[in-house]
Structure 1
Amino acid sequence: MESVELLDALAYLMCLLGCKAFLWIRWYGSPYGRYSSQYSGPCVPVRAAWVLQELPSLAWPLLECACASAVRLDRLPNRVLLAMFLVHYIYRTLIFPFVIRGGKPTPLFTCVTAFLFCLYNGYLQSRYLSHYAVYAEDWVTQPCFLAGGLFEYVTAANYLGESVEWFGFALASWSLQGAAFALFTFCVLLSRAMHHHRWYLEKFEDYPKSRKILIPFLY
C-alpha cells in the first residue's frame, strides 16, 4: 500500500544512490559522450537514446494528470510545480535530442540506467506532487526572500550570477559586441541592486549593515 512514508523512503534511497553514483563516476568515469570508446559495449544512436531514457519522466506527469485519484492537483501550487517538471522533460525528450549536432552513440548500459533513473524519479516527483504534497494556496504567489549562500555576503547574489554569466560570454566571444552587452547588463543590474539594497535597509531594521550590494567584500 503506497503512502507518503514510502515516497519519503524512496527519496532517502535516492540520496544514497546519488552518493554512490558520485563515487562510481569519480573512480570509474562515465563512459558516454566524449568519454565513450570501443570498450563501452553495445550502443544506441544518440537521439534515440535521449528520447528513450528521458521518456518516463515525461510520461509520469501526464499519467498522473489523467488519474482520478490525483486529488492534490486541484491546488494551484501542485499544478504549477508539476507543470515545471513536465515542461523540463518535454524539452529533454522532444526537443533537445533533435537539435543535437553529431554526438556519439550512447552505450546501452548508460541508456538503460538513465531510463531507470527517469522511471524512478518521474514516479517520485509526479506521485508526491499529485497525491500528497500540501502547500499554502499562496505558495507560488507569496514573495519569498532568499537567504544563505552568496546572499549572506551580498544583497543581489542573483544579479551577481547574471553579471558573471555575461562577462563569461564576453570572454568566450572575445568581441567588442559581447563586452558591450556584458558592461550594459552590469550597469543596469548594479543600479537595480543598489535600489534593492536601500529598500532592504529601509524596510528591515535588522538587515545586516555590513552586507555588500553586489560584489562580495568589495561593494
Structure 2
Amino acid sequence: MECQRAAVSYLSWALIVGGGAYLLQQTRSCAQYGRYAAEQQRCVRSGLGWFLQEVPAFLVPLLLLLLQGTGTGTGTGTGTGRTLLLCTFMLHYFYRSIIYSFLTRGRPVPLNIVLFAAIFCSLNGFLQGHYLLHCSHSELTWTTSPHLAAGSLLFAVGLTINIHSDNILRNLRKPGEYVYRIPRGGMFEWVSGANFLGEIIEWCGYAVAVWSLPAFAFAFFTACSIGPRAYQHHRDYQKRFEDYPRSRKALIPFIL
C-alpha cells in the first residue's frame, strides 16, 4: 500500500511540474492545433481525433471500477462517495469523447496531439481512479465532508458552462466550415475563453470535492494547459475582428 501511495504521489507531482513547464512553454508559442496548426501536419478528422484522445480517461476508470466490482482489485473497498466522485470524473470524459466528438465541427486534429493527449488521458484516468478506489481510506459523505457538496456544486456549474459554451461555438459554423466568428451569449459576453473557463471551474470543483493531491494536480495542470489557450484565442479574436467587444476579458470576467 505504501508503494502504491508513493506512486500516486510521484505521478501527481509530475502533473504539477509538467503543468508549470507547459505554462512557461505556452508563454513563448501556441500549441500547434486548431487555428494554430501548421498546414503540413498530419491530421485526423476532428471527431475521430477527439474520441481517440479523450476516451482513455473514460475507459481506464471504468475498467478499474469493473475490476473492483468483481473482486480482482487490490484496494480497500469502494465507498459510495468515492465511487460517485469517480463517476463524476468519468461523466466529463463521456461527454467529451462520445457526445462532443460526434457533434464537433472543428478543424482536423494533428496526429501527434492526439497521441500525446491519449497518453495523458490514460495516465490521468488511472491516477484519479486508482487513488479513489485503492488509496483513499476516508469515506466521503454529505454530512461529514462539507467540501464534497461545495466541490460537486462547483463542478456542476463548470460542466454547465463548458457544455453551453461548446454549443455556442459549434453553432457558429455550418458543417464543413472552418471560418471564425465572434461568439456571443452565455459566458462569452464576459470572456473569450468561456469553454476553457467552464472546464477549469469543473476540475477546481472536482479537486475541492475529492480534497486530494491527485485531484489538485489535475486541476492545476488543466489551468496551466488551457488557461494560456484562452488568452491566445482572445488576442486572435482582437486581431481578426475590429468590432470585437473591448470589455470582454480573456478568461476571468472583469479581471484577466
Quickly name the TM-score band, shorter chain normalised.
Answer: 0.5 to 0.7
* Correspondence for 1:105 among 103, 108, 118: 108
Residues 1:69 and 1:94: Cα distance change in structure 2 (over 3 Å): same
* Correspondence for 1:131 among 116, 134, 149: 134
- CA RMSD for the aligned pairs? 2.8
Where does structure 2 lack aligned partners over 5 or more consecutive residues? Answer: 149-156, 162-184, 190-256
Q: What is the distance in 1 between the residues matched to 2:44 and 2:20?
A: 27
Contact conserved, 1:57 with 1:119, CA < 8 A, in 2?
yes
Match of 1:35 in 2: 36
Question: What does 1:63-212 correspond to in 2, within 5 Å?
Answer: 63-67=63-67, 68-69=72-73, 71-100=75-104, 102-138=105-141, 140-142=142-144, 144=146, 169=186, 172=189
The C-alpha deviation readout for 1:59-89, integer Å capped at 9, x for no partner, is: 1111111212254453112111111111111
Contact conserved, 2:11 with 2:127, CA < 8 A, in 1?
yes
**1:22 Cα deviation from its structure 2 partner:** 1.1
Q: What is the distance in 1 between the residues matched to 2:13 and 2:63?
A: 24
Higher Cα Rg, which structure: 1
Residues 1:77 and 1:63: Cα distance change in structure 2 (over 3 Å): same
Q: What is the distance in 2 between the residues matched to 1:91 and 1:170?
A: 20
Q: Which letter maps to 1:59?
A: L
The SS at the match of 2:134 is helix
Residues 1:96 and 1:145: Cα distance change in structure 2 (over 3 Å): closer
Contact conserved, 2:47 with 2:103, CA < 8 A, in 1?
no
The C-alpha deviation readout for 1:114-169, integer Å capped at 9, x for no partner, is: 1111011011111111111122352x4446379xxxxxxxxxxx9xxx9xxxxx74
**1:106 Cα deviation from its structure 2 partner:** 0.6
Residues 1:130 and 1:30: Cα distance change in structure 2 (over 3 Å): same
**1:25 Cα deviation from its structure 2 partner:** 2.1
Q: TM-score, structure 1 length as denominator?
A: 0.61
The SS at the match of 1:66 is helix
Q: What is the distance in 1 between the residues matched to 2:12 and 2:143?
A: 27
Contact conserved, 1:64 with 1:70, CA < 8 A, in 2?
no
Q: TM-score, structure 2 length as denominator?
A: 0.53
Where does structure 1 lack aligned partners over 5 or more consecutive residues? Answer: 147-157, 163-167, 173-219
Residues 1:45 and 1:127: Cα distance change in structure 2 (over 3 Å): same
Contact conserved, 1:73 with 1:79, CA < 8 A, in 2?
no
| Count of residues in Structure 1 that have an aligned counterpart in Structure 2 | 151
Q: Which letter maps to 2:42?
A: P
Q: Which letter maps to 2:130?
A: R
